[in-house]
Amino acid sequence: MRGSLLIAAASLAFAQEATIKVDVDVVSVYASVRDKRGAYIKDLSKDDFTVMEDGKKQEIRYFSRESDLPLTIGLLVDVSRSQEGLIEVEKRAGAQFFQQVLRPKDAAFVISFGSEAELLQDLTSSQRLLAKGLDGLRLNASVGGLHPSPTGAKQRGTIMYDAVYLAAAEKLKDEVGRKVIVLITDGMDFGSRVSLQEAITAAHKSDAIIYSVYYVDPRVYGWGGYSDSDLKKMSEETGGRVFRVDRKNDLEDIFRQIQEEVRSQYAIGYNPAGQSTPGGFRKIEIKTSNKELKVLARKGYYASKN
């Protein structure tokens, strides 16, 4: 199924006004834990974790080392001018990734973005349909140079923030279980109608984890590339991280790492204790008793106004 996503200002404005409710009777957080060498730690117990919300310690009531909840993945691929030479690799690696990570009850969708965002395949568990969607990846760029100037008013070059916002707010907000956005891009945004923070907020409200794959074409940038600071902010805020395609790690290697991480998560649930502002953002901090271990988990959530 192919179809253009609605990215008109009116559509985004409407979506931004919509309230996404979070049931605060139980807050669910998915966390992965690694040691100093980067190896995943999979044998921790509930007693090894401490959960804080807005500075108050919370009692962990639900805990599982292996979550059996459905996994929904949104694969977002940058097809702007600077990424043109990488598209064929992304097609092959993306299809292989879906074959490896998706189980029968899981689902995925594919969005490409350049000067516009396009839904190449809607939510499905079909490997055939996902491969067909990936095969539809193609250059999508405005007429002009490598990237339109950010001072060029309403020009649209690489609408990364819009793509993340739409994936979270329109495709993931009503899904259940674990939700992941895998974002493949060189980290540049020109012309999005929403801001970086609005994209992050949409991800928070849909409980989506963002894994960013920083992928630059050395024929365009050299191996130096552009800044990945926006990718780090989106990923770290939502409990994911940034992977970099380089001489040591190709795209297939990174997809294998993402697959291992999403299958190595702890599911942690608690009933919030303490008064917080209804509708506001509540900060979450998760630690382990072993201070040398690094925990990756979302930084908070938006509570329901009701």
The domain limits of the chain are 70-262
- pLDDT single digits (tens) 78-121: 999 999 999 999 999 999 999 999 999 999 999 999 999 999 99
CA-nearest of 137, 16, 132, 21 to 80 is: 137
CA dist 10 and 7 (Å) reads 8
CA distance 179 to 205: 11
Closest to 44 (Cα-Cα) out of 298, 294, 301 = 294
Q: What are phi and psi of 157, to 5 degrees?
A: -115, -60
Statement: residue 256 has pLDDT above 50:
yes
pLDDT at 66: 72
pLDDT category of residue 304 using cuts at 50, 70 and 90: confident
- 69 burial via Cβ count (<10 Å: 0-12, 13-18, 19+): middle
Residues 73 and 63: their CA atoms lie apart, in Å, by 23
Full-model pTM? 0.87
Strand, helix or coil at 104?
coil
The whole-number pLDDT of residue 143 equals 55
Contact in structure between 140 and 87 (CB atoms under 8 Å):
no
For the stretch 2-13, pLDDT in tens is 444 543 333 443
> In angstroms, rounded to a whole number, what is the distance separating the alpha carbons of residues 217 and 174?
35
Instruction: Check pLDDT > 90 for residue 72.
Output: yes
Looking at residues 112-140, what average pLDDT do you find? 97
| Residue 130 to residues 1, 108, 126, Cα–Cα distance (Å) | 10, 8, 6
pLDDT by residue (tens digit) across 154-179? 456 899 999 999 999 999 999 988 99
Angle at 72 between CA 105 and CA 7, to 5 degrees: 140
Let me know if domain 70-262 sits in CATH 3.40.50.410: yes
As a whole number, mean pLDDT of residues 167-193 equals 95
Rounded CA-CA distance 71/61 in Å is 22
